[in-house]
Structure 1
Amino acid sequence: MKALLTKLLLMLAVISCWSQPKGKIVKIDSFKSKFVQSRNIEIWLPNGYDTNTKTRYPVLYMQDGQNVFNPETSIHKTAWEADVTAERLTAIHQIQPVIIVAIWNTNNRYMEYFPEKASLNFVQNDQAVFPKATKDVNPNGVDFLGDEYLKFITQELKPYIDKQYRTKPEAASTAICGSSMGALISLYAICEYPEIFGQAACLSTHWTLLPDAPRSQMSEAFKKYLYEHLPSPENHRIYFDYGTKTLDQYYGVHQRGVDNMMKNKGYTTDNWTTKKFEGEAHVEKAWQKRFDQVLFFLFKSDNKKAKTVTKEKTSKKS
């Protein structure tokens, strides 16, 4: 009888946990910028934000915002469902409550997400190949917009978020995240603005840079930039991962080179991880499945009530 009662109490605790009111999403249509074209912004405020009026929160800025929360606006009708995962991990005290800012992309996505200063390291062949190789993703032939895009985030969007919401504005509490080209621009952001971003999460980083993934020579331009501009490991943390199917199959060799670079720059398991996900493809569903591990790395709670996080099958650090 005592054992049955214990089980019932545990079941009630779980039901109570999952029946908590969820956070809310605030949408801003066509957020204006003097640097890049306007775009939608969605801000997820965690459960308790409206009632815990003295609490301040870390912030996670995410690329490809239409894919972050809502399956109806996402590509292939599959979203990361970042709010659902964050709510679950917060409820079991695995992570700190966090504000998530989803930045929608535009038809200039490729040029906005391209790490602009890497182009300064193009060799002659890169300069000749780039316009032809990117014509489908840059049909209007616009110039590089990576630096302008980061100005938009750091000079316009982040100040707005910090003013309108109870954030922890310091770098240690400000993270940036993306997948594929979104991972590149997130890594570029922590290199260009180490005083603003203390953490970056880069999923399925598109190291090959060009849409034609097997062609990889141009990746050396970004690796050279990265070696020269990686922020200090003393106060920055970086998450990498990749799968082994579709586009992700081309990333392993590049990621291993970057991992060696991270070690040479003084990064350790305290402030950096790289995870390999066997059998996972370059799709939102894969990123959705492992987003819990991203949040756990970025915003791990020190709460003693924390329960064991469910882990996807991964290999050891590559």
Structure 2
Amino acid sequence: MVIKEMVHITPYHLDRMLHIYLPDDYEESEARYPVMYMYDGHNLFYNEDATYGKSWGLQEFMRQWENQLIIVGIECNHEGNKRLEEFSPYDFKDFDGQRIHGTGKVFMQWVVDELKPLIDTHFRTKPEREYTGIGGSSMGGLMAYYTVVAHNDVFSKAACISSAVGFCYDAMREELTSAGPLLPDTRVYMSWGSKESGRKPGLVKYTCTNLEFSHLLVERGAVTYPYLQAFGGHCEADWEKQNAIYMPFLWNGVFEDGME
């Protein structure tokens, strides 16, 4: 089941909707669950909530998957360029050359300091690092890259899907190269679609960037899964097709059945 709850983002002085998936037997069970925090929560579960009328279909996937966890989807700020600001740890220029002041570091500090403790208090979670993941697409994928490195003591796994790394390549690369060793069993799924970058030179550049980031993460002790989605576009319909890839990879070994 999916519930919606409003939460206050203290540093922005704004309220924001959370889209929270709970296992269907949550009310009858006493079990505690791992938690996956995800950006653009309105796009995760229901087509009617999704910005472009198509969701990731995550509720349907979770209902048929053999393992269960709680998913906390954080809705974005829909006002102007606020989503770009909140979901970037760094300043950058957008496609129109407009300067964007990234406040993603502030946003993630709020998630760590306020949102996660709130979720752990109100729901039966497994709060430890090994049971906590982060994920997103586009700007959310960029944030997932940043988060698993900058807050590696809190998040052990990240899904970086169709990440908007081109906006902030130099800053993100510096973040990775300056990072110390990552904690054990840090797992990072990174994907990009062959139809996202237009012509072949764009695809080559996007591929090289993700593979470079994968190499830097592996050097620091992470386990990575770089995935080029053939004919994949920058859209929820293609990200939905990856649910059955990134979820088993990220949560491998966490559940009692020791899934592969």
**5 Å matches for 1:296-307?**
296-300=248-252, 301-303=255-257
Of the three residues 30, 41, 52, the one matched with 2:29 is 52
TM-score by length of 1: 0.72
Call closer, same or farther: CA 1:171–1:263 in 2, change over 3 Å. closer
Q: Return the letter of the residue paired with 1:262.
A: L
Shift of 1:48: 1.7
What is aligned with 2:215? 260
What is aligned with 1:112? 86
SS at match of 1:75: coil
Q: Describe the superposition over 1:81-125 as per-residue Cα deviations: whole angstroms up to 9, x where unpaired.
A: 1111111112xxxxx310011100003110111123xx5xxxxxx
Q: Return the letter of the residue paired with 1:133.
A: G
Q: Return the letter of the residue paired with 2:50.
A: S
> What is the aligned residue count?
249
SS at match of 1:251: helix
Q: Describe the superposition over 1:66-88 as per-residue Cα deviations: whole angstroms up to 9, x where unpaired.
A: 10111111122000011111111
**RMSD of the alignment, in Å?**
2.2
Of the three residues 237, 247, 250, the one matched with 1:295 is 247
SS at match of 1:257: helix
Call closer, same or farther: CA 1:161–1:278 in 2, change over 3 Å. same
Shift of 1:132: 6.4
**5 Å matches for 1:60-139?**
60-90=36-66, 96-106=67-77, 107=79, 108-116=82-90, 119=91, 133-134=97-98
Distance 2:15 2:114 in 1: 12
* More moved, 226-235 vs 66-75: 226-235
Higher helix proportion (structure 1 or 2): 1
Q: Which runs of 4+ in 1 moved over 6 A?
A: none
Runs of 5+ consecutive residues of structure 1 not aligned to the other structure = 1-23, 91-95, 120-125, 210-217, 309-318
Shift of 1:265: 2.6
Q: Return the letter of the residue paired with 1:182.
A: G
The structure with the largest alpha-carbon Rg is 1
Shift of 1:231: 5.3
Distance 1:231 1:198 in 2: 13
Matched, 1:26 2:3: yes
**5 Å matches for 1:182-201?**
182-201=140-159
Higher strand proportion (structure 1 or 2): 2
Q: Describe the superposition over 1:231-267 as per-residue Cα deviations: whole angstroms up to 9, x where unpaired.
A: 5152411111111103483521211222222333344
Shift of 1:175: 0.3
Q: Given that residues 137 and 161 in structure 2 are in contact (C-alpha distance below 8 angstroms), is that contact kept between their aligned partners in structure 1?
A: yes
Runs of 5+ consecutive residues of structure 2 not aligned to the other structure = none
Distance 1:134 1:71 in 2: 31
Q: Return the letter of the residue paired with 2:177.
A: Y
* More moved, 287-296 vs 223-232: 223-232
Of the three residues 155, 162, 165, the one matched with 1:207 is 165
Q: Given that residues 204 and 251 in structure 1 are in contact (C-alpha distance below 8 angstroms), is that contact kept between their aligned partners in structure 2?
A: no
Distance 1:196 1:83 in 2: 25
Q: Given that residues 194 and 231 in structure 1 are in contact (C-alpha distance below 8 angstroms), is that contact kept between their aligned partners in structure 2?
A: no
Distance 2:238 2:94 in 1: 29
Q: Given that residues 223 and 258 in structure 1 are in contact (C-alpha distance below 8 angstroms), is that contact kept between their aligned partners in structure 2?
A: yes
Greater relative CO, 1 or 2 (CA 8 Å, sep 6+): 1
Call closer, same or farther: CA 1:230–1:252 in 2, change over 3 Å. farther
Q: Given that residues 161 and 190 in structure 2 are in contact (C-alpha distance below 8 angstroms), is that contact kept between their aligned partners in structure 1?
A: yes
Between the two proteins, what is the percent identity of the paired residues? Answer: 27
Q: Return the letter of the residue paired with 1:111.
A: E
Of the three residues 123, 143, 155, the one matched with 1:165 is 123
Matched, 1:238 2:214: no
What is aligned with 1:213? none
